[in-house]
Amino acid sequence: MYFTDRGIEELEDRRGDEQLSVEWLAARMRTFVDEHPEFEDAIERLATFLARDDVDEPGNLAG
């Protein structure tokens, strides 16, 4: 288990039953970067990864 898995598990435990919008997630990510600018590159990479999650899926005609 990676160290970061602990944070992911906490997120899942605390918010796993909630329906969250992408708009809410984007706002929280912006707030995080405002408070922790040293993580801007990592958050940008995560946002891009999430935005393109379905691009390489087999059978997807959008990509």
DSSP secondary structure string, 12-29? HHHHTTS---HHHHHHHH
Q: What is the pLDDT of residue 63?
A: 47
Query: What is the average per-residue pLDDT within 13-41?
Result: 94
Task: Look at residue 60 and tell me if it is in a domain.
Answer: no
Q: Does 13 score more than 90 pLDDT?
A: yes
Task: Look at residue 12 and tell me if it is in a domain.
Answer: no
CA atoms of 22 and 10, how far apart (whole Å): 19
Task: Look at residue 37 and tell me if it is in a domain.
Answer: yes
The total number of structural domains that make up the chain:
1
Task: Look at residue 43 and tell me if it is in a domain.
Answer: yes
Assign 57 a pLDDT band (cuts: 50, 70, 90).
low
Best CA proximity match to 22, nearest among 42, 46, 55: 46
Task: Look at residue 35 and tell me if it is in a domain.
Answer: yes
32 and 43 Cβ atoms separated by less than 8 Å:
yes
Q: What is the pLDDT of residue 26?
A: 96
